[in-house]
Amino acid sequence: MRPVSANSSSGDLFKHAVLAVGSIFILLPFAVMIATSFKSPADIASGALRLFPTEYHGFANYAEALSATPLLRYMANGVIVTASIFALQLLVALPCAYALAKLKWRGRDTVFGLILFCLLIPPHAVAIPVYVLFYWLGILDSYTSLILPWTISVFGIFLMRQFFKTVPDDLIDAARMDGISEFGIVWRVMLPTALPAVTAFGIFSIIAHWNDYFWPLIVLSSEDYYTPPLGVATFRTAEVGYVFGPLMAAATIIIAPLVLTFLLAQRRFIEGITFTGMK
Amino acid sequence: MAEVQIRNVSKRFGTTTVLENASLTISKGEFVSLIGPSGCGKSTLLRIISGLEVQDTGQIVIGDRTVDDLRPSARNLAMVFQSYALYPHLNVASNIAMPLRMQRLNGFQRLPVIGRFLPGSATANDGIARQVRDAAEMLDISHLLERKPGQLSGGQRQRVAVGRALVRDPAAFLLDEPLSNLDAKLRVHMRTEIAQLHRRLKATFIYVTHDQVEAMTMSDRIAVMMDGDIIQVGTPDEVYDQPVDIRVAEFIGSPKINVVPVDIEAARGMAVLAGAASGVVTDPSAVSLGIRPEAITVSSSSGLAAGIVEHAENLGSEEYVQVRLDALPEIVITARAGHGTGWTRRIGSAAHVSFDGNRALAFDSAGRRVACRAYAPRHVGGKAVANG
Ligand SMILES: Nc1ncnc2c1ncn2[C@@H]1O[C@H](COP(=O)(O)OP(=O)(O)OP(=O)(O)O)[C@@H](O)[C@H]1O
Ligand SMILES: [Mg+2]
């Protein structure tokens, strides 16, 4: 709780000042990105620090972004991949979290310890072995290769387990008395109760996989499966060198869905984070 | 409804024994309270009956079927939890309907939207809706059917939880301290409602509580549990008047029974209380007498033992007077005095207490009840005692 003191308003002022400086620092690149996406090549090349374009070139940049590469195709790939990853992550994480939080079995704490340990393994460390494995399986350069490595989210299991711990045991017992099976409890009782946490996890997962550049770059060779970050990168390799206007327009287009999703889910997201005591 | 038998049930968690050979038979349509101090194993026993917990040894029999191998839902019991345990994301109607939907609809029929159009589900859903409405009407919550549990008061949630138990027409109702989260006034009200519900349904009720007033007022029989043992089963009167153990005597009754140490005079077997002959003859093994506050008379002039009025409480209908005995300064006797006796104005003054020898209870050193009776009523100073 916040202590009520005489100088709390000046304290608030200070806090807000710090936050304002921080948010300017974080938002400035985005502002520059959006501003650049409306500027003409000459304007960009002039190097002057200007927020608003001297000559409006937005339409041309966005048209270029959408026509020079199949950006919409890349975004559809992004939707397919991130949505599949999230759905499969839930399919795995919810039953696991339920078993870890609410069922009693020998070795449960050990297993949970191992799961926490897995949180420490960076995905880049196992990238090469997974790549080799997928090569042997012959599934490189496919949606499967983009989705499969991420279906088990240790973070998701951990987050949902922490949330499920707060669900009262009586509720689960009542469901058992009513005749709901254990899997039924996961989907029909725990999932609806845990929606804020699911939303929070969803945002983490979707942002991470929508923006992922590393893994698609490794497993993909054909442009058919390119996800938005790879697609944006193709601008840079165009023979004319850096075309910043269309590049920034493309970047703006691909982060727009993320920003919209976050704004829509914002309240539940914050609820989810505070609920699980992660804040 | 059905008879429920608990046969020699034992349960341990790790090294702690929670239930030790507990046996109890609850007849068809009976209202039995399980009562005892916190941690004595009441909830554990109830959960074993329901199948949510598995006993180590012993059997549970419902009707004439041993149910030990049945899942909780297959035992056809309904449970009302202390925390109500309503589904927070479902409205009241869906909460009440849940056990019926699970019983009567198959997995496909329960699917949202399309489930409603599958063969058979329309009739089943109509039947369920009708039963939900009937239950809601009976519990006076018809106007709340569309609300979520979060939008209800504690008492209303309680009714919804009872409604969910009610609709499935169970073999027995199991209630685990269902009233303990309600405020005092509502608790008294719901007590009456649950008792009336039991009379109307004529169903078997097993009611866990640690509130002896609830147990006394609602039950046909009370089972008193202590440390994982059912130590006495009887009607409220039996448990109150004829406790088999000092722990039962002390647990049942409010204010608590007075317990005073006594010596036994060898010649007549007379119990000697604070140096005075008490007028009660007991078994030689007795070490203490238990006397209920209403069996004690307090007087300012004469009595068996003298003391000082330490405190008095006026409840309007009666007064409770606490007297510290001169001869046994560690003992404070609580006596019930009549309406308007004015003891609250006499705190600190001298008083004398005496008691009705016919209502005394004697206990041995292990706390077991032993025989005792009034010896010679005329010896009891200052107190006219009815001849037993
Ligand atoms: N799952 C469990 N694991 C370990 N010990 C348990 C478990 N459940 C109950 N116990 C222990 O068993 C004993 C009896 O618990 P129980 O819940 O049956 O008590 P109770 O009589 O219902 O008490 P209260 O009136 O406080 O609800 C307690 O000492 C408790 O700590
Ligand atoms: Mg309990």
Cα separation, A188 vs B107, in Å, equals 12
pLDDT(A164) > 50: yes
Question: Helix H segments across B74-219?
Answer: 92-104, 121-139, 154-167, 184-201, 212-218
Q: Is pLDDT above 80 for A248?
A: yes
Where does ligand 1 bind, in terms of residues with CB under 6 Å? B 13, 18, 36, 38-44, 210
Residue A267 forms part of a structural domain:
no
Position A97 confidence tier, pLDDT thresholds 50, 70, 90: very high
Are residue A116 and residue A175 in the same domain, yes or no?
yes
- Residue of the CA atom closest to atom 10 of ligand 1: B13
A135 and A255, same domain (yes or no): no
Residues A60 and A126 in one domain: no
Nearest-Å Rg of the Cα atoms of chain A is 23
φ/ψ (deg, to 5) at A120 = -80, -15
Residue A116 resides in a domain = yes
A162 vs B114 pLDDT, higher one? A162
Instruction: Determine the structural domain holding residue A63 and report its residue range.
Output: 1-68+239-259
Contact A174 B85 (CB under 8 A): yes
Q: Is residue A278 part of a domain?
A: no
Ligand number with the minimum distance to the CA of B38: 1
pLDDT of B160 reads 95
Same domain for A11 and A149, yes or no, is no
Q: What is the CATH number of the domain that holds A107?
A: 1.10.3720.10
Considering the domain architecture, whether residues A157 and A111 belong to the same structural domain is answered as yes
Higher local confidence (pLDDT), A52 or A28: A28
What pTM did the predictor assign? 0.83
**DSSP secondary-structure letter at B292?**
-
B157-182: buried (b, 16+ CB within 10 Å) or exposed (e) per residue? Answer: bbbbbbbbbbbbebbbbbbbbbbeeb
Torsional sign, CA A265, A266, A268, A270: positive
pLDDT at B384: 44
**Closest by alpha carbon to B163, among B135, B137, B193?**
B135
For range A59-75, the mean pLDDT: 86
> Residues of B256-289 as b/e, b for ≥16 C-beta within 10 angstroms?
ebbbbebebeeeebbbebbebbbbbbbeeebbbb
Q: Is A171 on the interface with B (CB under 8 A)?
A: yes
Q: How far apart are CA B347 and CA B328, in angstroms?
A: 19
Name the residue of B11, B19, B33, B42 to mutate for ligand 1: max ligand atoms within 8 A of Cβ: B42
User: What's the CA-to-centroid distance between B120 and ligand 1, angstroms?
Assistant: 44
For range A247-261, the mean pLDDT = 88
- Whether residue A220 sits in one domain with residue A110: yes
Q: What is the pLDDT of residues B214-267, one digit of tens each?
A: 999 999 999 999 988 899 999 999 999 999 999 999 999 989 999 999 988 887
Cβ neighbours of B9 (radius 10 Å)? 24
C-alpha to C-alpha distance for B99 and B94, rounded to whole angstroms? 9
| Residues forming CATH 3.40.50.300 domain(s) in chain B | 4-243
The pLDDT, as a whole number, for residue B383 is 47
How far apart (Å, rounded) are the C-alpha atoms in residues B201 and B170? 11
Same domain, A219 and A254: no
Query: Is the link from the previous residue into A228 a cis peptide, with omega within 30 of 0?
Result: no
Q: How many domains, chain A?
A: 2
Last residue of a domain, one of A180, A203, A226: A226
My answer on whether A10 and A78 are in the same domain is: no
Question: Could B77 and A177 be called an inter-chain contact, meaning their C-beta atoms sit closer than 8 Å?
Answer: yes
**Closest residue to atom 12 of ligand 1, CA basis:** B18
pLDDT of residue A237: 52
Interface test with A, best of B54, B62, B79 (most A CBs within 10 A): B79
Q: Which of B157, B42, B113 is nearest to A174 (CA)?
A: B157
* Closest CA relative to residue B194, chosen from B177, B171, B212, B170: B177
CATH 2.40.50.140 domain span(s) along chain B: 255-385
Cα-flanking dihedrals φ and ψ of residue A276, to 5°? -85, 5
- pLDDT over threshold 70, residue A271: no
Question: Is residue A14 located within the same domain as residue A109?
Answer: no
In a domain, A130, yes or no: yes
CA-CA-CA-CA torsion sign (A64, A67, A72, A75): negative
Instruction: Look at residue B72 in the predicted model and tell me its pLDDT.
Output: 93
Confidence of residue A8 (pLDDT cuts 50, 70, 90): low
Q: What is B255-385's CATH superfamily?
A: Nucleic acid-binding proteins (2.40.50.140)
Average pLDDT over residues A45-58: 76
Could you report the per-residue pLDDT of B78-137, keeping only the tens digit for each? Answer: 999 999 999 999 999 999 999 999 988 888 888 877 777 787 788 888 899 999 999 999
For residue A89, CA distances in Å to A71, A184, A186, A276 come to 26, 18, 14, 18
- pLDDT score recorded for residue B209: 93
How many residues can be counted in chain B? 388
Q: Can you give the pLDDT at residue B270?
A: 85
Q: How far off is chain A from B3, nearest CA to CA, in Å?
A: 19
The verdict on residue A131 lying in a domain is: yes
pLDDT of residue B376: 59
Q: pLDDT-derived band of residue A180, with 50, 70 and 90 as boundaries?
A: very high
Structural contact between residues B223 and B40, judged by C-beta atoms closer than 8 angstroms: no
Q: Where are the beta strands (DSSP E) in B138-285?
A: 172-176, 204-209, 221-226, 229-234, 258-261, 263-264, 270-273, 276-282
Which residue's alpha carbon is nearest to atom 6 within ligand 1? B13
What local confidence, expressed as pLDDT, does residue B267 receive? 79
CATH number 3.40.50.300 is the correct assignment for the domain at B4-243: yes
If asked whether residues A99 and A184 sit together in one domain, one would say yes
According to the model, what pLDDT value does residue A185 have?
96
Nearest CA in chain B to A184: B107
Which of these, B165, B153, B154, lies nearest to B95 by C-alpha position? B165
Q: Which residue type occupies A92?
A: V
Whether residue A213 sits in one domain with residue A92: yes
Name the β-bridge partners of B31. Answer: B205
d(CA A231, CA B70): 58
Helices (H), A103-168: 108-118, 127-137, 143-147, 154-165
Task: Return the closest-CA partner of residue A216 out of A165, A134, A143.
Answer: A143
pLDDT digits (tens, 9 = 90+) for B148-195: 999 999 889 999 999 999 998 899 999 999 998 888 888 898 899 899
Half-sphere exposure of B243 (CA within 13 A, CB side): 24
ipTM, two decimals, is 0.85
Predicted pLDDT at B382: 45
| pLDDT at residue A169 is higher than 70 | yes
Cα(B56)–Cα(B54) distance, integer angstroms: 7
pLDDT digits (tens, 9 = 90+) for B343-381: 989 999 999 999 998 999 999 999 999 998 887 545 444
Q: Residue A183: how many CB atoms within 10 A of its CB? A: 11
Smallest CA–CA separation between B146 and chain A, in Å?
Answer: 18
Mean pLDDT of chain A: 86
Instruction: Give me the mean pLDDT over the A88-107 stretch.
Output: 96
Same-domain pairing of A57 and A102: no
Q: Is residue A274 part of a domain?
A: no
Position B8 pLDDT exceeds 80? yes
